[in-house]
Amino acid sequence: MLKIIKSCFKTSHIIIFLIGMLSGGYLIIIIKKHSHFNIENNISIGINPIEIFSIIMNIFIAYYLTVVFGKKNDIDKSERDILIQFFEDFRKDKDLIIAESIDVILSGNQNTNLNFITSQFKYLRQKLNMNLNLLVDRKIILNNDVSKQNAEAKMRDIWQKITYTPTLGQQNYIIENELSNARRFSTELDKLLFELIIRINNK
């Protein structure tokens, strides 16, 4: 994915440069057409001043467009990379906390460690909300966007399945079913995050 993004980024620079060259050429055609100056073309060294001016203008315009728009592209790309990294960091934290919480539950220590598990998932929800709000602030998604609402709801579902899982004193299949649902919701959340990352790249 990163290779494709880098390739597209390089292509955009080439396109900007070509647009600059074409713009310069078009400008010179207009100058030639409407200019009232009559410059002799039979200079002793055989160089047409208008052609020299045309080359200089082409280079200048192409350079200007490349620098100005290229710099903006650099800033936009850097911001997109940071946002994507935030979501990737969240995903890693989520998977780790879910795995650790399941280990605690299966070891029979859920009751003694419930506060710790709850605080971990509270941290995850806050981190997810921060990432989603960053997308809203940058107008990548709306505050009432369905993807945002679904991601928040899926995170709540995971939290509930983990923190409200029955203790080992109850039937094991109930525990296994609840934990299985938590894993499934986690996978579904990953899919939602992937769709948001695509929207970040398309911005």
pTM over 0.75: no
* Pair 168, 175: CB distance under 8 Å: yes
Residue of 159, 168, 68 lying closest to 121 (CA atoms): 159
* 3 domain residue, yes or no: no
Domain that holds residue 163: 82-202
Q: Per-residue pLDDT averaged across 152-161, rounded?
A: 93
Angle at 110 between CA 123 and CA 96, to 5 degrees: 40
* 132 domain residue, yes or no: yes
Q: Which of 110-124, 133-147, 183-197 has the lowest mean pLDDT?
A: 110-124
* 45 domain residue, yes or no: no
* 159-193 tens-digit pLDDT: 988 887 555 555 666 777 888 899 999 999 999 99
Residue 43's contacts (CB-CB under 8 Å, 6 or more residues apart) are 49
* 137 domain residue, yes or no: yes
* 15-59 tens-digit pLDDT: 655 665 666 555 556 555 544 444 444 444 445 566 666 677 667
pLDDT computed for residue 187 by the predictor? 95
Q: How many domains does the chain have?
A: 1
